C-alpha cells in the first residue's frame, strides 16, 4: 500500500476518533445536545448511573488510544514504540469497529441513525484501521 493511502487513513481515523472523543467528553461533562438521539433514550436519562459515566470515560480513553495508534503507525508519535504493537492494536480496532458496524447496520433493527449514520461511520473506521494494520510501513527514523 502506498504511503499516501496509509497517511490518509491515519488522519481520517484520528480526526474521527478525536471528534467522537470530544463529543463523548461533552456529554459526560453534562452536555445534552444530540445525546437523546444518539443513545436512543429520553432526554436526561442517560447519565443517571455511575456505571454509564464510567463506561463513557473508558470509551473516551479508547478513542484517544485509537487515535494514538493511527498516528504511531505512520511515525507521527511514539517512535520508540515497536511498530508491531501498533499493528496489533490496529488489528484489534479493525475487529471491534467491524463488529460495531455489523451490529449497527444489521442487528440493532430499523433505527435510521444506527443503519445510516453510526454503522457507516464504523465501516469507515474499520477500513482505515484495516489499511493501517495491513500496511507495511517504511522504516521510521528514531527521533
Residues 6+ apart with CB under 8 A from 116: none
pLDDT per position as a tens digit, 65-87: 999 999 999 999 999 999 999 99
Question: pTM of the prediction?
Answer: 0.88
Check: CB of residue 121 under 8 Å from CB of residue 130.
no
Closest CA to 74 of 2, 12, 3: 3
pLDDT per position as a tens digit, 82-111: 999 999 999 999 999 999 999 988 887 678
Q: How many helices (H) and strands (E) does the chain have?
A: 6, 0
Which residue matches cell numbers 500500500?
Answer: 1
Torsion over CA: 82, 87, 88, 89 (sign):
positive
Amino acid at each position: 500500500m502506498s504511503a499516501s493511502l496509509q497517511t490518509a487513513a491515519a488522519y481520517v481515523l484520528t480526526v474521527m476518533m478525536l471528534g467522537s472523543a470530544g463529543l463523548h467528553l461533552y456529554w459526560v461533562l453534562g452536555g445534552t445536545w444530540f445525546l437523546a438521539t444518539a443513545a436512543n433514550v429520553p432526554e436526561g436519562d442517560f447519565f443517571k448511573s455511575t456505571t454509564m459515566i464510567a463506561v463513557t470515560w473508558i470509551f473516551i480513553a479508547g478513542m484517544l488510544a485509537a487515535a494514538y495508534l493511527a498516528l504511531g503507525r505512520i511515525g507521527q508519535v511514539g517512535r520508540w514504540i515497536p511498530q508491531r504493537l501498533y499493528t496489533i492494536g490496529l488489528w484489534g480496532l479493525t475487529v471491534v469497529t467491524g463488529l460495531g458496524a455489523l451490529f449497527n447496520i444489521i442487528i440493532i433493527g430499523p433505527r435510521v441513525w444506527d443503519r445510516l449514520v453510526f454503522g457507516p461511520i464504523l465501516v469507515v473506521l474499520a477500513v482505515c484501521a484495516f489499511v493501517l494494520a495491513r500496511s507495511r510501513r517504511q522504516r521510521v527514523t528514531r527521533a
